A and B are shown apart, each in its own frame.
Chain A
Amino acid sequence: MINTAHRIEFFPEKCVGCQLCYKACFVDVIRWDPEAKKPIFKYVSDCEHCFCCQAVCKKEAIRVIPDYSSEHLLQSFERYA
């Protein structure tokens, strides 16, 4: 999908800097801040709501909040456009 409006909540105080979420993102939404040792959610409008980043985070520092209305099935009938 392109131009999605999914949101990602990040709780930096819980994050231990393990980098797993950064590695887990398969479409480069998440970058790594080497100084802060924390993820940066840089390209959120490319997020596919796959939940992989949240699933790998053992510290519950990430919450993906999908906005399904921002994804489009692109069929020709108005209902599904």
Chain B
Amino acid sequence: MNYENKNLSCDILVAGGGIGGLSFAVSIKERMPETDVLIIEKQTAGYSGKANKGGGVLQYFDPEKVQPIDFLKLHVKEIGAYLGDQEMMLKYVSMNKEMIDKLSEWGVGIPKDENGRYRVLPTGPMTAMIRANLDMTVQVRRRAEKLGVRFLDKTAMSDLLTDGGKIAGATAFSILDGTFYVIKAKAVVLATGSQNYRIGSMWSSGRGDGIAAAYRAGAEMRNAEFGNFAQLAKVKSHHEVVFGENNMYNAEGEFITKNFRKTRETDISSTAIREWYIQMINGKGPVHLEFGEGHPGPGARALHDGSKDQSYDSRFRELNEKSAAEVDTDLEVCPLFIGEQSPICVGHDMQTSVAGLYAIGDCSYCGSAAPGAVPAPPGRNRGSGILNAVFAALVCAESIAASGLGGGAEIDMAQAESCREQLFAPLNRKEGVTAKEVIALVQKAVAPVEQSVFMKQDRMEQAMQYVRKARELAGKMKAEDLHDLLACREAEAMVLSAEMHYFASAIRKESRGWFLREDYPDMDNANWLKWIILKNVNGEMTYTTRDVPIEKWPVKP
């Protein structure tokens, strides 16, 4: 195959044009208007990614009612289980209003009341939600274009290029015509999303190839064992039932929520997923939801007024709900494995361990350590996904503006050429396996919740057998065309994510927050107030642990 080579350069290269990448681009142009910013996006920035596929819910903290420290205490105890970076969580809560105002200023529609204040729905003593229109990414892209940000759509970043431990740029390819790009940049910002293993429909853009590129380039990973989110879904439509865990019943009509939950919690917990598995294994399934007479039923619809206009929001919701309603004749539920591994380790400036390489939003949520012992987003903290991406974007832009762009690193053309060869290898193979065969094996490992959410050494071993087989086949993938080539890249990334998950999960010999091991059921603060850091050293996955500096933070066990 002979595809064209093109060399490009820019000051800052952003990989991924979801809400995180777009917000960063706008924010850095606001601070440093002369900076040449290029966004490369695998699909089409403004439409791709996740922010337009869901509830459009933004977490809201009423400054008159909630002190950041009070929310922090709740979060650390109930959600983060002492593993979170408390400074970052405090900063995130403190910047809530600023972030929402920024989105509004950038053109995102956020419904207001007659007094011009955001329409707020209280959801608990400390939490509340507001809504943002689902076309938010289109609006922020428009804003970015006005500020002079350049875009290259349908172009997937394939590898990061380094020069003596510093970032020098990245390689990318067009999924339409195969053009191979070598892009020189003074800084690279990864905003490529999390790893969802192509299981949940709406989550399917999270394929982890940005995470894999960072890993290959030597960037540290943290909290990789917390990439195992699952949610209850209706078994016919597979549509998720947010907060359904409060209303679970087994086949004998027994209310089983009481087995794992005494009082209402912020959101779905891994104990709900465990309960489903225990009921099933004991022959008491299937599990269904009951809401009682007069209850509106599942779903957090209160924020949406139900109006049916021609807006994207209305049409998107109506089409999805109508179609599911046609098949959902009952409320039988089962877990849908979502994953959400987001392990790129970043410091308070959003910089990775590779100088000049930054990571924001869903690709580094757990890696930033802000949420603690929970897969994020949503991290049992609804409405934090979009805002975390905006938060990380603003913090990253602020830190680059303060420290200035590094630069000075040179592209090593031999390195770029070797990336090119490896990238295109599946197109040149006459025989081999398909990307989907490899992905199916990874899914067999991670999707069954007793192998990924409610873990035990022997069951993890069983899962690892699939992962090892997938690793072996990943070296033999063949691609028919460029769409297929992208799938090969993604399949490779899924194998790596599963490897990281099981490697780190086997090391953490305790249960903490979302992380549940049947063989180590207790939280062990004496030995495990630690982060597990993974790193690629000459092709070998290695680990170290880092103590959580709990002594310098306000909330302690």
A25 at the interface (CB under 8 A from B): yes
Q: How many residues of B contact A (CB 8 A)?
A: 50
- The reply to whether B53 and A50 form a contact with Cβ atoms under 8 Å apart is yes
Residues of chain A lying within 8 A (CB to CB) of residue B202: 48, 50
Whether B440 lies near A80 (C-beta < 8 A) is no
Within 8 A of A (CB), among B260-296: 280, 285-286
Name the B residues within 8 Å of A26 (CB-CB): 43, 47-49, 53, 204-205
B553 cross-chain contacts in A, Cβ below 8 A: none
* A51 adjacent to B319 (CB under 8 Å): yes
Please report the C-alpha to C-alpha distance between residue A43 and residue B175 in the assembled complex, in whole angstroms.
Answer: 13
- Do B238 and A71 touch (CB < 8 A)? yes
Contact with B along A10-28 (1 / 0, CB 8 A): 0000000000001111111
Give chain A residues whose Cβ lies under 8 Å from the Cβ of B320: 50-51
Complex Cα distance A2/B337, Å?
14
* Residue numbers in B under 8 Å from A56 (CB-CB): 47, 312
Closest to B239 in A: A68
Distance A71 CA – B202 CA, assembled complex (angstroms): 13
Which listed residue (A28, A48, A54, A76) contacts B201, Cβ 8 A? A48
Report B308-342 residues with CB < 8 Å from chain A CB.
Answer: 310, 312, 315-316, 319-320, 323, 327, 334-337
Residues of B within 8 A of A51 (CB): 316, 319-320, 323
Residue of B nearest to A77 (CB): B280
Closest residue of chain B to A48 (Cβ to Cβ) is: B201
Contacts of A77 in B (CB 8 A): 280, 285
Map CB proximity to B onto A28-63 as digits: 1 under 8 Å, 0 otherwise: 100100000000001100001111101110100000
Ordered nearest first, which 8 A-B pairs have the shortest CB separation? A74-B447, A23-B44, A51-B319, A55-B315, A48-B201, A55-B316, A76-B448, A24-B47
| Chain B residues close to A by CB (< 8 Å) | 42-44, 46-49, 52-53, 153-154, 175-176, 198-199, 201-202, 204-205, 233, 235-238, 280, 285-286, 310, 312, 315-316, 319-320, 323, 327, 334-337, 436, 439-440, 443-444, 447-450, 483, 486
